[in-house]
């Protein structure tokens, strides 16, 4: 890799990490914690994408990543002894999505049915059957309580339940939001990184943005936030319906992959776009005197 490309990647890395490091520091995640996580990822990616041998070559991984053989060994030992991940965080979202898209649970014009907790028939539409279909072995009663608590589901006078929202919005700093942070970042960087290395003009995945040229006043940003939440949700629901129909068409076909679309409303903090040198000068640190000392 050319030195110019490496330098530009380092600059891009610093910019990408600023909002993440701000969150990490606020939650007590230290540089040491971050460094260990980075080691894990460097070792995993080097094995998965750059070491195609039948056995893991720790010396080769150390050369590729810049880690010592001891650090590589520690990462591998830690991974082998770790408990398997239990990823249950997105289950409420899956339940709500099924309620809004499964033909068994929607009525005329695509409106979700009001359903009982349990049905007289074994296969009839009910909240219990909905959870079994879209949330595996999750207990229906705690799921219902959580969806009611966040306002996504309401209980009606006739003891049936109505889906009030299509989306599940977890509470601040919940495990659901933390996992979502990782997934959204992964999806975003997967596309942008792939597009940097695309083979030719016009190839690659959809990666576009619209933005203001001269900025908006705070009240206009709030207005845009309301606007994009409504229009964005409408568009995503349209895509979700398309996915449901297309997944049924593709059922049984080989080599299927998960795919989707992320839309993010961003507001630029100009201070975060400055680099460390600008900040040090602003705080009165003389760069030249530091070099001489």
* Lowest mean pLDDT, pick from 82-91, 197-206, 234-243: 82-91
Given a cut of 60, whether residue 95 has pLDDT beyond it is yes
Arithmetic mean of pLDDT, 162-172:
80
Beta bridge partners of 153: 163
What is the per-residue pLDDT for 105? 93
CB 162 within 8 A of CB 112: yes
Question: What would the pLDDT profile of 98-119 be if each residue is shown by its tens digit?
Answer: 999 898 999 887 889 999 999 8
Name which residue leads in pLDDT, 288 or 57: 57
What's the CATH number for 91-163? 1.10.10
* Lowest mean pLDDT, pick from 66-80, 106-120, 193-207: 193-207
pLDDT category at 90 given cuts 50, 70, 90 is low
pLDDT category at 202 given cuts 50, 70, 90 is confident
Return the structure tokens found at 175: 């495990």
What is the per-residue pLDDT for 70? 94
CB 62 within 8 A of CB 69: yes
Query: Which of 48-52, 57-61, 180-184 is the most confident on average?
Result: 57-61
Question: What would the pLDDT profile of 226-264 be if each residue is shown by its tens digit?
Answer: 999 999 999 998 998 899 889 989 989 998 999 999 888
Arithmetic mean of pLDDT, 127-144:
88
> From the centroid of its chain, how far is CA 125?
31
Name which residue leads in pLDDT, 105 or 83: 105
* Lowest mean pLDDT, pick from 1-5, 107-111, 269-273: 1-5
What is the per-residue pLDDT for 290? 47
Exposure pattern of 122-137 as b/e (b: 16+ CB <10 Å)? Answer: eeebbbbbbbeebbee
- Mean pLDDT taken over the chain: 84
Q: Strands, E, within the chain: which ranges?
A: 115-116, 153-155, 160-163
| HSE-CB for 15 with a 13 A CA cutoff | 12
**N-terminal to C-terminal alpha carbon distance within the chain:** 34
DSSP SS3 for 191? helix
* Lowest mean pLDDT, pick from 38-42, 133-137, 190-194: 133-137
What is the per-residue pLDDT for 293? 44
Contacts of residue 171, defined as CB under 8 A and 6 or more positions apart, other chains included, come to: 150, 177
DSSP SS3 for 47? helix
Any idea where the domains of the chain sit in the sequence? 1-82, 91-163, 209-251+258-293
Which one, of 184, 233, 193, lies nearest residue 5 by Cα? 193
* Lowest mean pLDDT, pick from 21-35, 174-188, 205-219, 278-292: 278-292
Which one, of 109, 188, 239, 112, lies nearest residue 247 by Cα? 239
Looking at the chain, the whole-number percentage of residues with pLDDT higher than 90 is 32
For the CA atoms of 112, 115, 119, 122, what is the dihedral angle to 10 degrees?
20
């Amino acid at each position: 890799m050319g030195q110019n490309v490496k330098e530009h990647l380092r600059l891009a890395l610093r910019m990408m990490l600023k909002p993440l490091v701000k969150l990490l520091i606020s939650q007590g995640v230290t540089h040491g914690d971050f460094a260990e996580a980075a080691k894990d990822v460097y070792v995993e990616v080097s094995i998965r994408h750059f070491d195609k041998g039948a056995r893991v070559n720790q010396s080769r991984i150390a050369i590729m990543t810049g880690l010592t053989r001891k650090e590589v060994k520690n990462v591998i030992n830690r991974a082998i002894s770790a408990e398997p991940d239990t990823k249950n965080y997105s289950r409420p979202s899956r339940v709500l999505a099924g309620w809004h898209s499964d033909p068994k649970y929607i009525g005329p014009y695509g409106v979700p049915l009001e359903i009982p907790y349990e049905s007289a028939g074994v296969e009839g539409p009910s909240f219990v059957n909905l959870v079994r279909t879209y949330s595996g072995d999750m207990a229906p009663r705690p799921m219902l309580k959580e969806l009611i608590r966040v306002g996504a589901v309401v209980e009606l006078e006739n003891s049936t339940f109505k889906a009030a929202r299509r989306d599940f919005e977890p509470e601040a700093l919940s495990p659901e939001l933390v996992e979502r942070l990782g997934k959204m970042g992964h999806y975003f960087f997967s596309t942008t990184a792939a597009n940097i290395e695309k083979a030719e003009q016009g190839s690659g995945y959809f990666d576009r943005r619209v933005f203001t040229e001269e900025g908006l006043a705070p009240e206009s940003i709030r207005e845009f936030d309301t606007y994009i939440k409504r229009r964005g949700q409408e568009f995503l629901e349209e895509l979700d319906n398309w996915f449901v129909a297309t997944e049924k068409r593709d059922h049984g076909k080989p080599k299927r992959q998960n795919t989707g679309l992320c839309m993010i409303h961003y507001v630029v903090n100009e201070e975060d776009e400055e680099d460390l040198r600008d900040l040090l000068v602003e705080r009165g640190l003389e760069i030249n005197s530091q070099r001489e000392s």
